[in-house]
Amino acid sequence: MIGRLNHVAIAVRSLEAGVRTYRDTLGAKVSAPLPQPEHGVTVVFVELPNTKIELLEPLGEGSPIAKFLERNADGGIHHVCYEVDDIIAARDRLKAEGARVLGDGEPRIGAHGKPVLFLHPKDFFGTLVELEQA
Ligand code: CO
């Protein structure tokens, strides 16, 4: 059911430091910062030949990654995102298999303008999983 790895998301305290490291030290192509108030993050996309890395910095009150950064002071891998062809079919299959879909279970529009869902890390070996409709 799952397809390509769309991105790996890394939470950072400072997007500026993250951009410097990925652009200058690692020599990657990095996008301009994109504030996403409805998700409580500012994002930059690191373009790699075969996938993307997203650097997430907390934005506003109650950012979903603020708690993560309290537990992971240096930052860390926050989630992985797999593509699916049909997000509703994927959700229904996962629920039938007993996996927990976060929030109200309805897809929201994610950072790439496509519907996304998040799955409970406890059901996926401690990894927060995002599904994005391809
Ligand atoms: Co993501």
| β-strands 52-58, 5-11 pairing | parallel
- Full domain range(s) for residue 117: 2-133
Give the single-character DSSP code of 46: E
Percent of the chain with pLDDT over 90: 90
The count of domains in the chain is: 1
How far, in Å, from the CA of 129 to the mean position of ligand 1? 9
CA distance 115 to 134: 9
pLDDT at 39: 86
CATH of residue 33: 3.10.180.10
Taking a C-beta distance cutoff of 8 angstroms, is the pair 10, 56 a contact? yes
Q: Which of 57, 83, 130, 132 is catalytic?
A: 130
Q: How many A from CA of 8 to the centre of ligand 1?
A: 7
State the pTM of this model: 0.93
Residues forming a β-bridge with 81? 7, 130
Torsion angle of the four alpha carbons 22, 74, 131, 106, in this order, in degrees rounded to the nearest 10: -130
pLDDT in tens, 23-79: 999 999 999 999 999 889 999 999 999 999 999 999 998 898 999 999 999 999 999
The number of helix segments (H) and strand segments (E) in the chain equals: 3, 9
